Structure 1
Amino acid sequence: MTRRFSKMHGIGNDFVVVDGRAAPLALDAATIRAMADRRTGIGFDQLLSIEPPRDPSCAFYYGIWNADGSPSGQCGNGARCVAAWLHRAGAIAVGELVRLQSPSGAIAVRLEDGGEVSVDMGEPVFDPLRIPFAVAVEADSYAIEVDGHPLQIGAVSMGNPHAVVVVSAVDAPELAALGPALTAHARFPQGANAGFVQLLARDHLRLRVHERGAGWTLACGTGACAAMAGLRRRGAVDERVRVDLPGGTLEIRWPGVGQTLWMRGPAAFVFEGEWLA
């Protein structure tokens, strides 16, 4: 079977986008892993499918699969790429606020003048049961041990679980081992995206993320949202923050509890192709 795809990226977090509006996506985990291979396949962090909505209040549904074939609940950079893809397909206009349904629920997207995309990611979730994170009492931070290293982490969901660690330098060599270990920590029964954040100023962060199912990535949109939200909850950052990731910069705005969080950044097309299988 031949399936057409678009290769896209959001500040280096790369995707294959498949049009499933007329025909449902029928790819098993092994096929997704083969497509994701950067030597023998297409290569990507996540695969995105665009499909008819299950929720009638939304215009479209998008599915998310990690490079290892596992499903994901949310992807901030992916949401921006979905919006840009739909705009190119003539389905949404610049300036139009559109509801999209993700595996973790509805979000809203808006294409801005100049090609960037703003995404209403919803309100950050700190309730451990909803993240999920195995702890009895909700707190701003938690003491855990990772491979013999005591850490203080924040735990938050942006539609997928995140562990956020404040560090003095995101390029510290010990993080190479701590990232995968924290992603697989037993306190996170579904795994977690491990974000290591450096506070440069009240409006400026530097971030490095190890994603469950994808590994170290050039950018993680939900990770940037989670890092900002965790620090905002502690009063460490302002309402608007610039987050520098290895692949580029995102703008995050969150007034605080009871409000939704907005992310803004670019989405780029790389090439079109066909997968022969």
Structure 2
Amino acid sequence: MSATSPAEATRPAAPQPATRLSVVKGHGTHNDFVLVDDRAGRLDLDAGLVARLADRRGGVGGDGVIRLVASAMLPEGRDLQAGEPAARWFMDYRNADGSVAQMCGNGVRVLAAFCERLGLWDGTGELALGTRAGVRRVRRVPAPDGSSAPWYAVGMGMVSLPGGEAAVDEGGDLQVRVDGLDVPRPALSVDVGNPHAVVALSDEATLARAELVHAPVVRPTPVDGVNVELVVPLGEQLVDGETVGRVRMRVHERGVGETSSCGTGAVAVAAAVRSWAGPSAPTTWLVQVPGGMVRVRLAADGTAELAGPAVLVADVQVDLDALG
């Protein structure tokens, strides 16, 4: 056996991989996320780790994982910050299966609450966050009566209908087959920075019959997958002197499955229903999802704002060795 030299005895040990990871669990209308503070960009957040963290039986559990990282640490973040210097922080969002996603409307609100918790934003003015769908600006807004959670409004950017007016006139530009429904239904393509297919249903009983355990079959098949929303219009009501539209929806998110809520999906639903209803339809919509309610405002310039609650429910120390 060879002897250890004095120099070797005093040499610092090689750094060992971290065996514990601090995360926070949060949700927006029960669309839930595992949040990771990785501002320095040291974490190797690969698809396998994401899937294990999001696993509801063997991990923390969530519809996705959101890594907060300095924009300067990612090429897409640096590109955004070059034009928007205020976007210091980037939302690196992954679906529960580990796939990379452009954005998440509920998730960006929860990330804003996380930034408040970390002292990166004091809740006043706007918080600019970089995402793969562009910069999203978040602000605190008054919560509706009866809400126990703080509300945040997010500028969601441009909303477009890839099929144009022809698709609106024809009822849609896609066909969607959903388990539990008797025939394929027409769907309207909506782009909210990520792709959506919105299917209108006639009543809530039909909405309840739909089985979203398996992904709906969409034709033509979208190359990058698509989120599918099923929506039932519920009419209009007067809220603080404004005529507001009301809808109820369910959603199957690509890479996740059915979720209790989808922020970009709520925007897509509001845009689709308003397009079908015509120019006299309301510009503000209350969207009821299984996990609660969000509000969508559609502006004349084609942009949208999403508002709703965001809640941080737990601080968790994850044993990475036990996670597998």
TM-score (norm 1): 0.89
Relative to its length, the structure with more helix (as a share) is 2
Matched, 1:180 2:215: yes
| Distance of 1:26 and 1:14 partners within structure 2 | 22
Within 5 Å, give how 1:185-196 maps onto structure 2: 185-196=219-230
> Residues 143 and 22 (structure 1 numbering): CA distance in 2 closer, same or farther, change over 3 Å?
closer
| Distance of 1:243 and 1:146 partners within structure 2 | 23
What value does the CA root-mean-square deviation take over the aligned residues? 2.2
Query: In structure 1, what is the equivalent of residue 34 of structure 2?
Result: 16
Query: In structure 2, what is the equivalent of residue 35 of structure 1?
Result: 53
Matched, 1:206 2:248: yes
CA drift at 1:150: 3.0
Query: In structure 1, what is the equivalent of residue 296 of structure 2?
Result: 252
| Distance of 2:162 and 2:202 partners within structure 1 | 27
| Distance of 1:112 and 1:177 partners within structure 2 | 33
Query: In structure 2, what is the equivalent of residue 139 of structure 1?
Result: 167
Within 5 Å, give how 1:1-277 maps onto structure 2: 1=18, 2-53=20-71, 54=77, 55-56=80-81, 57=84, 58-113=87-142, 115-127=150-162, 139-140=167-168, 141-142=172-173, 144=175, 146=177, 149-170=183-204, 172=206, 174-176=209-211, 180-182=215-217, 185-202=219-236, 203-235=245-277, 237-256=281-300, 258-277=301-320
| Distance of 1:126 and 1:37 partners within structure 2 | 34
When the two structures are aligned, how many residues end up with a matched partner? 268
CA drift at 1:179: 6.4
Contact between 2:154 and 2:307, CA under 8 Å: does it hold in 1?
A: yes
| Distance of 2:191 and 2:174 partners within structure 1 | 18
> Residues 137 and 201 (structure 1 numbering): CA distance in 2 closer, same or farther, change over 3 Å?
closer
CA drift at 1:125: 2.1
CA drift at 1:149: 2.8
- 1:211-250 deviations in Å (ceiling 9; x for gaps): 1111011111110000001122233541111000000000
Q: Which moved more, 1:225-234 or 1:74-83?
A: 225-234
Higher Rg of the two aligned structures: 2
Contact between 2:175 and 2:220, CA under 8 Å: does it hold in 1?
A: no
Runs of 4+ in structure 1 off by over 6 angstroms are: none
> Residues 70 and 143 (structure 1 numbering): CA distance in 2 closer, same or farther, change over 3 Å?
closer
| Distance of 1:241 and 1:199 partners within structure 2 | 10
- 1:86-133 deviations in Å (ceiling 9; x for gaps): 1121111223112211112111111235521000001102235xxxxx
Instruction: Name the aligned partner's letter for residue 96 of structure 2.
Output: A
Unpaired runs of 5+ in structure 1? Answer: 129-135
Unpaired runs of 5+ in structure 2? Answer: 1-17, 72-76, 144-149, 237-244
Contact between 1:208 and 1:245, CA under 8 Å: does it hold in 2?
A: yes
